[in-house]
Amino acid sequence: MLDARLAAAAAYVRSGSRVADIGCDHGKLSAYLAGSGRCPRILACDLRPGPLAKARATCAPWGEKVVLRLGDGLSVVAPGEVDDIVIAGMGAETICQILAAAPWLRAEPGRYNLVLVPATKHSALRQWLARNGFALQAETLCQAAGRYYAVMQAAYTGHPTEPDGLSCLCGKVAGQPGAAEYRAAQAAKLQKYRRGLPPGPEAAGVDALLNELEGTRWP
């Protein structure tokens, strides 16, 4: 059974697509996509042999529908081999590095459906996507193991933009259950970051964003 985080990721995977599950860990998502009949072929990929061995056992009932590969990020996936790509269970910086190291993702705008589940620094991932020509199409806010996760769906458009601070911080989760609590948690993280900044333009920009977030004057 999938937790809320992986269930939200599965919902963004297109029916009938070939999928790469990057950082597959225990293989539960790959097994679900194969067993539900949602996807005809899944590449379950992980950097470490241990988790891949667990994924092999989890996905064994689905035979050749799930292909296991050991390697770093998308280096084990050939251009055009999949349609949808799920990257979950790692920090935003690592996700950005994986995407940046696969230039074939940017060869054909709209070709690949990206489902991204950052464990940390959601804002940094949203900013990187916008600046590098990826459009954030939708997000699902969920809780798993007592933490908030923003499950993101994105695609390459070829049109880099400079996102505003509020969209980087809160994304597209407005109106969803838990959105107010998520916004407050993101504001608390930004406040902590602000306390470490010396006076200057960056500090002033963070103050302005906090004022927008909280509706009060900061500091």
- The string of pLDDT tens digits covering residues 75-96 is 999 999 999 999 998 999 999 9
Report how far apart, in Å, the C-alpha atoms of 20 and of each of 99, 107, 216 are: 13, 18, 44
- The string of pLDDT tens digits covering residues 159-190 is 999 988 888 888 999 889 988 888 888 888 88
> Mean pLDDT over residues 199-205, rounded?
80
Residue 186 is predicted with a pLDDT of 84
Please state, for a pLDDT cut of 70, what percent of the chain lies above it.
97
Report how far apart, in Å, the C-alpha atoms of 116 and of each of 46, 103, 181 are: 15, 17, 21
**Domain containing 106: what range?**
4-161
Residue 172, domain member (yes or no): no
Residue 166, domain member (yes or no): no
- Tally of structural domains, the chain: 2
| Letter string b/e over residues 157-187, b meaning 16 or more CB atoms within 10 A of that residue's CB | eeeeeebebeebbbbbbeeeeebeebbeebb
Residue 100, domain member (yes or no): yes
